[in-house]
Amino acid sequence: MHSHIKKTAFFVLSGLVFVGISWKEKNYMDRPEKNPPVLTINGFTFTDLNGNGRLDTYEDTRLPVGQRAANLVEQMTDEEKANFLIGTGMPGFDGLTPVVGAIEGRVPGAAGGTYAIPRLGIPAIIVADGPAGLRIKPIRPNDSKTYYCTAFPVGTSLASTWNTELVQAVGKAMGNEVKEYGVDVLLAPALNIHRNPLCGRNFEYYSEDPLVSGKIAAAMVNGIQSNGVGTSVKHFAANNQETNRLSINEHVSERAMRELYLKGFEITVKESQPWTIMSSYNLINGTYTSARKDLLTDILRNEWGYKGMVMTDWFGGFAGFTSIKAGTSNSIAQLNAGNDLLMPGLPSQRDAILAAIKSGGISKEVVDLNVKRILELVMRSPVMTNYKYSDKPDLKGNAEITRNAAAEGMVLLQNKTNVLPYTKTGGTIATFGVTSYDFISGGTGSGDVNEAYTISLIEGLTNAGLKTDEELKNLYTPFVAKEKAVELEGRKNKGILALPQRLPELDLSEKLIAQKAAGTELAIITLGRNSGEGGDRKVENDFNLAADEIQLIDRVSTAYHKAGKKVVVILNIGGVIETASWKNKVDAILLSWQPGQEGGNSVADILTGKVNPSGKLTMTFPVKYEDTPSASNFPGTPADDPKEVTYAEGIYVGYRYYNTFKVKPSFEFGYGLSYTNFQYSDIKINGMDASGNTNVTVKVKNIGKVSGKEVVQLYLSAPAKSIDKPVSELKSFGKTTLLAPGETADISFTLSSKDLASFVPVQQAWVAEAGKYTVSLGTSSINIKQSGNFSLDKNMVVEKVQAAFAPDTKFTDLKLR
């Protein structure tokens, strides 16, 4: 081993590390089954990381990690530092010549990693996507084993559970796969705000509301990291569109940044201390987020106390492929801002960094700090202790977890005459819509997962003992197979960023549908939508239903209603669609989201009543796209190739807008039906105590006939004297356990003084204004069950902060008054 290390050290010192470490040598240090030699000193055992036969300071595990990392930094050469600040490239990213030297680490299909420094015993860490589960290659050359991962429900689905305990359990399961497949950091969770329903990656994100986003993300991070692997909370910040994502300049006010686009990250950082954070692609007010010191140092570290490291998104800071090829990014500005690691890492970046180190173009202090933070990450990663991963995570157990999580994330949007749960036995169900036969487990791009299977709706219904119509199945199956092949062919050569297309609907005659209405008990129509990284959705044929879908709904509902039978629509979608124009034509609507690999089983659990739906919308379903507050400012100008976008709606995103400006949605934020009913009573509000906390309690009783869970939402209306404020904002939420009929739960909430405060720009502070506060407890943002008041005598400056996000153009945020 010693000689290998020496040989590699020679390569490193001669500056040839990018191409110089041979596969064998690199692998030698990384391979978990090879243990470095051990030293025993005074009865203590130490790992001789660099194999030099003595205990160096950084090898002394009794010392704090920070001290050990600092000692390592002292021993690194400039070349090693320059190399360490970039990743090892992105293997398999076709068509990008600069990444030709990329190193495929020990986990094929991972998104990247860091360089090993074998002479110092520093191993390479591996990072891999993503938010719905680990994304690695399931099949490896010359290997008979498979490496499938569990496709968990997408972000919108998980958030719709409003159940932080459940999300934490999902995170724990995901993190177990990360660890057992030899990965150190999962590039998840993603919690950008749903600013506009067309954002192609909304399925990965949680909500239009920062509190829901932050609480769900923190639970996810805590779950994943409980395995001793890391997370990368992304994309920091305001990555709210895919159109021109590498170069879009967003004009956003400091207030909107702090109250909306940063709030969820603040909660996540404070409640879960993620190991890493990923800066986003976009610019804010003229500067790339990855090069913004106010964002990455002043706010993230100094204000919020973040201790981990920051990496760029893949090629973040490059305006596009031309600049990637030309090597023109702003690496030095990124490092200076506090963006420690540049991913996936390009030779041009390393060269620029090394030149700057040599010429004094970057200070030693900054470089050492960035390097130290990356080292601290490496030192806490499983690879550092040669963790012997099994390549055998508990896929069976995790399938059960995803099945239950997906069911809890489903939102029952409509249930006329209690058509659901469907408890009839003996009859046949007619399943319409191509998506019934080709269920969508999750979106595309880096948020995709290579799962072993997806349970379709038909399979789910069959597994639940329900009978589905054979003739329809025989008509749909070959049609779907053919259309699916065409669709896949269309994106075959476009790699990870290929955008999925909707499959056309099968044109069924009115006569055939009438026959089905006569011969079956119930009609189910599944509508599907898919989207992914690299593109936003469109209004026509995507947000709005396409003509063939409307025709299907019309024909099926007319025929079934004529025959005195019911129609259920399943929405197998990742983001919001239009529902107002057609919802009254059908009886029930179940929003199943993209529910992961067990999707069909999870839907069947809800349809049959095995699980009582308790999911609630974490975003608004507007009547029409044009009602969206950002509709006229998305995805930016000029329309044919947007370069900039103004967040003119300010803080009025989602329900903050609809409820304040009295625009009636189709389904409001927080909405979702249950098979039972809940009664709220006995609200009690204890005014602010000495430590600035206000306590609220309420009783919630199940007054229906079946067991169920309820999400209790706390909205606060604050006095709006010095600044405009939304009519109410979600400030806390809780979910009951499964309550049996007649059972009551006591729910309590604590509001901190910061929860009462808004960001007042002229004061550069979070201020809770004097006056009357109304607490509203509801089952949605509109359906309030109990409310009460308390008041504050004096204005309270809760937190004063440094100015950030200086505007690069003049505009004013939307105001009510």
Q: Which active-site residues does the annotation give?
A: 313
Q: Show the beta-strand stretches assigned E in 439-554.
A: 467-468, 522-528
Residue 129 interacting with ligand BGC (CB under 6 A): yes
Rounded-to-integer distance, Cα 702 and Cα 742, Å:
5
| Closest CA relative to residue 231, chosen from 344, 122, 381, 109 | 381
Comparison of 191 and 211: residue with beta carbon closer to ligand BGC: 191
Rg (CA), the chain: 27
DSSP states along 253-307: -HHHIIIIITHHHHHHHHHH--SEEEE-SSEETTEEGGG-HIIIIIIIIIIT---
| Closest CA relative to residue 546, chosen from 583, 513, 512, 578 | 578
Rounded-to-integer distance, Cα 293 and Cα 299, Å:
8
Residue 324 interacting with ligand BGC (CB under 6 A): no
Q: Which listed residue (152, 265, 314, 655) binds ligand BGC by CB under 6 A?
A: 314
Q: Which two tokens stand for residue 444?
A: 């595309």
Comparison of 495 and 741: residue with beta carbon closer to ligand BGC: 495
Comparison of 319 and 523: residue with beta carbon closer to ligand BGC: 319
Comparison of 129 and 294: residue with beta carbon closer to ligand BGC: 129
Helix ranges (H only) for 453-501 are 457-463, 470-490
The nearest distance, CB 798 to ligand BGC, in angstroms, is: 33
**Which of the residues 600 through 639 are near ligand BGC (CB under 6 A)?**
none
The nearest distance, CB 187 to ligand BGC, in angstroms, is: 4
Binding mask 479-508 for ligand BGC (x = CB under 6 A): ------------------------------
How many angstroms separate the Cα of 477 from the Cα of each of 438, 506, 523, 530, 548? 9, 10, 17, 20, 18
The nearest distance, CB 562 to ligand BGC, in angstroms, is: 49
The nearest distance, CB 721 to ligand BGC, in angstroms, is: 41
Comparison of 431 and 446: residue with beta carbon closer to ligand BGC: 446
The nearest distance, CB 112 to ligand BGC, in angstroms, is: 7
**Which of the residues 89 through 128 are near ligand BGC (CB under 6 A)?**
111
Query: For 639, what's the count of Cα atoms within 13 Å in the CB-facing half-sphere?
Result: 3
User: What phi and psi values does residue 410 have, to the nearest 5 degrees?
Assistant: -80, 145
Q: Which listed residue (150, 272, 446, 646) binds ligand BGC by CB under 6 A?
A: 446
CA triplet 588, 589, 590: central angle to 5 degrees?
Answer: 120
User: What phi and psi values does residue 672 have, to the nearest 5 degrees?
Assistant: 170, 135
For residue 344, is the peptide bond before it cis, meaning its omega torsion is within 30 degrees of 0? yes
- Report the amino acid identity of residue 478: P
The nearest distance, CB 806 to ligand BGC, in angstroms, is: 26
Helices and strands, number each (H, E), in the chain: 23, 28
Rounded-to-integer distance, Cα 490 and Cα 484, Å:
10
First CA to last CA across the chain, in angstroms? 72
For residue 251, is the peptide bond before it cis, meaning its omega torsion is within 30 degrees of 0? no
Element (H, E) at 657: helix 655-660
Three-state DSSP state, 443: coil
Q: Which listed residue (30, 177, 254, 313) binds ligand BGC by CB under 6 A?
A: 313
**Which of the residues 505 through 534 are near ligand BGC (CB under 6 A)?**
533
The nearest distance, CB 90 to ligand BGC, in angstroms, is: 7
The nearest distance, CB 535 to ligand BGC, in angstroms, is: 12
The nearest distance, CB 617 to ligand BGC, in angstroms, is: 24
Comparison of 447 and 622: residue with beta carbon closer to ligand BGC: 447
CA torsion 67-72-75-77 (nearest 10°) is: -130
Please give the size of the binding site for ligand BGC, defined by CB under 6 A: 9
The answer to whether 63 and 50 have CB atoms below 8 angstroms apart is no
DSSP states along 760-780: EGGGTEEEE-SEEEEEEEESS
Comparison of 594 and 758: residue with beta carbon closer to ligand BGC: 594
Q: Please classify residue 422 by burial: count the beta carbons closer than 10 Å to its beta carbon, then call 0-12 exposed, 13-18 middle and 19+ buried.
A: buried
**Which of the residues 168 through 187 are near ligand BGC (CB under 6 A)?**
187
Residue 241 interacting with ligand BGC (CB under 6 A): no
Q: Which listed residue (26, 68, 179, 234) binds ligand BGC by CB under 6 A?
A: 234
**Which of the residues 422 through 441 are near ligand BGC (CB under 6 A)?**
none
The nearest distance, CB 309 to ligand BGC, in angstroms, is: 15
For ligand BGC, the binding residues (CB under 6 A) are 111, 129-130, 187, 234, 313-314, 446, 533
